[in-house]
Amino acid sequence: MQTALPFDTIETPALLLDELLLRANIARLATRMTQFGVALRPHVKTAKCLQVAALCDDGRRGPITVSTLREADEFAAAGYRDIRYAVGYTPNKAAHVRRLVAQGVTMSVIVDNVAAAQALANGMADLAVPLRVLIEVDTDGQRAGLRPGDDVLLDVAAALRAPGVELAGVLTHCGGAYHCHGDTALIAMAEQERAGAVYAAERLRQAGHAVPEVSVGSTPTALFAQQLAGVTEVRAGVYVFMDLMMAALGVCRPEDIAVSVLTTVIGHRRDQGWTLVDAGWMALSRDRGLAGEFVDQGYGLVCDAQGQVLTDYIVTAANQEHGIVAHRSGDPARLLDLPVGSMLRILPNHACATAAQHGAYQVLSARGELQVAWPRFGGW
């Protein structure tokens, strides 16, 4: 049985995780994927935490997505056996991938060019069980991948017709969803993502390649897709926590954000309207989220210690270990006049970036009690 700890025993800044909100966010996407009949392969890069990942599939240790091979190591050691490394393969990772395969992990990797495909084939030629490979497809012009109609798509597939590797499918991530304004735009982007990936798979099949998997996903498109015909799996990561970027897009409300930074008031600059706290950019990250396109939330939206949003108070500036809380109007008369020692919570712009600043989650149970901390890890 876990022991409840007094709230004021936490040394700040600290990363708080509200388990009730976490579970609700996880259930929301899981229910949606069940309705579509599509597999969910959670992207564990956001949480980097075994306990959070376990909640995503009721502890079954099912398929996951990773963005670092360090993540693959940690989850493999915990018994996960179906791991997809969703960053473009480079030859200097061959030995690491092979070590994971030797441990009994069914690894899959991605490529989006002939050179990488050839290097992969060369590095894995002697594997007894071929390494599964997906071709990354660009469905929004935002990042890596081949356009669905690009002729090079077929060249990459041809390069994967080699011992030690096998073409398993296509994969896309529609980061363009982070620039959509309104539900209609998000729905359209989700369909663009789906249609582009399915078209790429169809082209490969017409060329004689078996393409069993069509993998799509981002949190906004996963939650706004109206249909997923032709898709076999969805990957999403930040859905477990949500953040101010998701709130700006209308994917969630600020009240749904499960992770926050607990901080303490350390002083005031009354002439400036500033309340100083002990969470600077080392605790919050420098990520400003979608400030250039949506409402500027500074370095985070301020809540009281119970998690209630304090309307229009944000972290307007951050030094390494100091945060400046002020009214977004800049009016010094609207000082958040709390006694030194008062605690606040800061909702993050980008949960992945903020969580990366911390070594553990201080978990708030559904009963509002603190549990034993859940460790998280970083690195590559």
- Mean pLDDT value across residues 347-372: 94
Q: What's residue 339's pLDDT?
A: 97
Q: Is the pLDDT at 1 greater than 70, yes or no?
A: no
223 with 239: CB under 8 angstroms? yes
38-240 shares its CATH topology with 258-375: no
pLDDT value of position 3: 47
3 state DSSP class of 245: helix
- In sequence order, what DSSP letters do the residues of 356-375 get, joined into one string? TT-SEEEEEPTTS-B-SPEE
Tally the C-alpha atoms within 13 A of residue 331's C-alpha that lie toward its C-beta: 5
- What is the CATH number that goes with domain 258-375? 2.40.37.20
Handedness of CA 274, 278, 282, 287 (dihedral sign): negative
**Residue 6, pLDDT score:** 63
Listed by start position, the domains of the chain span: 38-240, 258-375
Lowest mean pLDDT of 26-30, 231-235, 313-317, 368-372, name the range: 368-372
Distance in angstroms (rounded) separating the CA atoms of residues 319 and 282: 8
Instruction: For residues 100-124, give the mean pLDDT.
Output: 98
Residue 319 has pLDDT above 80, yes or no: yes
Q: Which CATH architecture has domain 38-240?
A: Alpha-Beta Barrel (3.20)
Determine the 3-state secondary structure of 65 from DSSP. Answer: strand
Confidence band for 45, pLDDT divided at 50, 70 and 90 = very high
Tokens 């509200």 locate to: 18
pLDDT band at 5 (very low <50, low <70, confident <90, very high): low
With tokens 């996960």, the residue in question is 80
Query: What DSSP element (H or E) covers 165?
Result: strand 165-172
Q: Please, which pLDDT band fits residue 165 given cuts at 50, 70 and 90?
A: very high
- Average pLDDT rounded to a whole number, residues 340-360: 97
On the question of pLDDT at 4 being above 80, the answer is no
Q: Which SS3 state, helix, strand or coil, does residue 148 take?
A: coil
Q: Would you tell me the crossing angle of helices 69-77 and 94-102 to the nearest 10 degrees?
A: 10
Average pLDDT over the chain reads 96
On the question of pLDDT at 368 being above 60, the answer is yes
| Separation CA 120–CA 97 (nearest Å) | 10
| Per-residue pLDDT at 2 | 43
| Sheet with 106-111, side-by-side order of all strands | 39-40, 233-234, 213-216, 165-172, 131-137, 106-111, 82-88, 64-66
